[in-house]
Amino acid sequence: MEAVAKLRNCPMSARKMRLLVDNIRGKSVQEALNICRFSNREAGEWVEKLLISALSNWEQKSEGRNAEDYDLYIKTALVDEAGMLKRIRPAPHGRAHRVRKRSNHVTLIIENRIVFEEEVVEEEEEIEVEEIETENDQD
């Protein structure tokens, strides 16, 4: 089972955010939280809050199961550019230069490596149904 958390319009450039997100992609949630906590970058604070949100989303979606028992990992981590605020900075000779204040969107998808017991039973039932259908087709 997977859970999604999205951070929209974070006031930081996507390039700076990707430096941290690239480090945590594919890692376990606990390891990623430690990377974010001990990172000196501002992106660490944003991504840590987002990871905690994704973790609570997963627990809510899986009906209160404990996340530590199912070895959660970061399946997908995306950073996209968002809208840009354009500001004006005074320049010499009465001119003006444009300042682009960039922002980004972050999407995290976490998933469990250990399968739920109900899912294993459902997969076995589906395989049995497929075998019965193929036997009926052959007759």
CA–CA separation, 51 and 109 (whole Å): 9
Residue type, position 39, single letter? S
Q: What are the structure tokens assigned to 45, written together? A: 């604070």
pLDDT single digits (tens) 85-128? 999 999 999 999 999 999 999 999 999 988 877 666 666 677 77
Contact 103, 85 (CB under 8 A): yes
pLDDT single digits (tens) 23-73? 999 999 999 999 999 999 999 999 999 999 999 999 999 888 888 888 899
DSSP per residue, 22-83: HHHTTSBHHHHHHHHHT--SHHHHHHHHHHHHHHHHHHHHTTT--GGGGTEEEEEEEEEE--
pLDDT (0 to 100) of residue 117:
73
pLDDT (0 to 100) of residue 121:
63
Contact 105, 12 (CB under 8 A): no
Other C-beta atoms closer than 10 Å to the C-beta of 121 total 10
Does the pLDDT value for residue 75 go beyond 90? yes
pLDDT (0 to 100) of residue 139:
57
- Sketch the domain layout of the chain as residue ranges: 2-113
Q: What are the structure tokens assigned to 15, written together? A: 């390039």
Please tell me the class of the 2-113 domain: alpha beta
